[in-house]
Structure 1
């Protein structure tokens, strides 16, 4: 088993496509296919289900993905430990992101930077995607890490785009918790705790309701996702949030997923920088760590 096979496996899982992974890695599609087949043969298991043009991880593949990420993360740590003092990173790094990504995804990356690159001054700005894009274009931010519909112009370089499901969640002790599937109209009489109207997935939710000629007056509107989660845990309310933001609470049985079968919303976790921006080593490290953390 080679490190390049692990990296190829991770990229195929990320893009859910052999061709897109090959393009990203600079390989031919046949080379990617051969590497995955060799890996599956060595592990004596199937890592992907091939459903037409769609590539999905098997349960064994999902388990191996966690192992592969851990291996490459440890390799990166080992490489960093071998770096000489003269190569120590020390340039400031300005990151723009949204609230949900800030408290769900950034802490581990920030911890890594503080541990391995103590001279790097990190500046984190939280705002809406539109505000972050404006700051990136004015060179006020080095990288922006957003959750939105796919965004791109010829002036930007996108280094990551990962689909994220938006889910309806409530307290696991709420009276209306059920394994059954709901229609959204059946839940609108419940208290909703939502992000503000200018938030991207809130806009998508409002548009989905409008298409069904439905209206919703939330009990609470606030940009702070963490506050919404605390409110859900303590009250019989409902919210629409990214799964990654509530994954731990769901796994700990503090929150429960409500299965709403007539509204499905997907947003994309994206990492961007301006094409005129010099790609520093600090930016490269952040991108690498963000790409590792896409499960």
Structure 2
């Protein structure tokens, strides 16, 4: 078996598409198809069935994917062992992150990792915490960084950083600090969408204080943390956000502690325990807590 063909095969599996896999490996779709056909011919098995627009693994394909991951991991280990210096390690790390860790944690983590491994490249997807967890489960990425926990036996959680939620307002609003949640019910709110870890924690804290989200005067929902803070700067509404995100806007917004919101949360690095993770990604995972 050709290891390059196996690598291309794993990309088709993970993206469920020949065209998307071609983009990832920087080849034409016809070249990717040729590699898969050559692999099928060499092994005398069918690897994919076409179901609509998706390429779905056959039972033989599922078994080969399992072995391909192991073989590619062994190849990475061999190359690392043969390299004279650790800095020669190459490869691509695929990461999904929710908005807060994606904006405020991941850049510094990557910067520190590249000090030791400058030849490594990164493919980064920003999504909600829930979508990030789904990408980790289905193998689209090597690992993710999120601000909430989801029940799934495949996921392993590594705590990275502890924080809590705060209130942000425009500089035209003056409140006592700390502020009480009841004082805020008449103000217009801008909220993150439901799938975000920040929104999930906010709903838990509201419920703990016997406040329904329906009691808030919500005027807008947004997927973007940057868009949310811009709404607040313009005085359109107030928002409850990650303290890390709020600290980045110091001087442009007012930040308040919320008396009833003493609970803290973690940002977690998550990976799929049932997937063979590429060596270069495993190195990042094993050292992630040192990069914060």
Q: How high is the TM-score relative to the length of structure 1?
A: 0.60
Residue matched to 1:257:
255
Matches of 2:248 and 2:167, distance apart in 1: 15
Closer/same/farther in 2, CA of residues 225 and 265 from structure 1, 3 Å limit = farther
- Once the two structures are TM-superposed, the CA of residue 222 in structure 1 deviates from its matched residue by 0.7
Matches of 1:152 and 1:196, distance apart in 2: 20
In the TM superposition, what whole-angstrom CA distance separates every residue of 1:203-241 from its partner, at most 9, and x where no partner exists?
332354452356123222111112222332332632111
Q: Is the 8 A contact 2:165 2:240 kept in 1?
A: yes
- Once the two structures are TM-superposed, the CA of residue 135 in structure 1 deviates from its matched residue by 1.9
| Residue 188 (structure 2) pairs with residue 188 (structure 1) | no
For structure 1, the residue ranges without an aligned partner over 5 or more in a row are 1-82
Residue matched to 1:53:
none
Closer/same/farther in 2, CA of residues 236 and 269 from structure 1, 3 Å limit = same
| Residue 207 (structure 2) pairs with residue 212 (structure 1) | no
| Residue 281 (structure 2) pairs with residue 290 (structure 1) | no
Superposition pairs of residues 78-227 of structure 1, within 5 angstroms: 84=84, 88-112=88-112, 117-148=117-148, 150-151=149-150, 153-171=152-170, 173-179=171-177, 181-209=178-206, 211-213=210-212, 215-227=215-227
Q: Is the 8 A contact 2:129 2:146 kept in 1?
A: yes
Matches of 1:175 and 1:158, distance apart in 2: 39
Matches of 1:274 and 1:156, distance apart in 2: 5
Q: Is the 8 A contact 1:109 1:289 kept in 2?
A: no
Residue matched to 1:246:
246
Closer/same/farther in 2, CA of residues 87 and 263 from structure 1, 3 Å limit = closer
SS of equivalent residue, structure 1 residue 291: helix
Q: 1:267 aligns with which of 242, 265, 270?
A: 265
Residue matched to 1:229:
229
In the TM superposition, what whole-angstrom CA distance separates every residue of 1:93-145 from its partner, at most 9, and x where no partner exists?
11011011111112223344566545433111122222222222222110111
Q: Is the 8 A contact 1:191 1:237 kept in 2?
A: yes
Q: Is the 8 A contact 1:96 1:141 kept in 2?
A: yes
Q: Is the 8 A contact 1:174 1:236 kept in 2?
A: no
Closer/same/farther in 2, CA of residues 175 and 132 from structure 1, 3 Å limit = closer
Q: Is the 8 A contact 1:103 1:226 kept in 2?
A: no
Matches of 1:114 and 1:163, distance apart in 2: 24
SS of equivalent residue, structure 1 residue 212: coil
Matches of 2:223 and 2:126, distance apart in 1: 10
SS of equivalent residue, structure 2 residue 257: strand
Matches of 2:223 and 2:285, distance apart in 1: 25
Number of aligned residues? 207
Matches of 1:160 and 1:115, distance apart in 2: 23
The structure that has the greater radius of gyration is: 2
Residue matched to 1:11:
none
SS of equivalent residue, structure 2 residue 202: helix
Q: How high is the TM-score relative to the length of structure 2?
A: 0.61
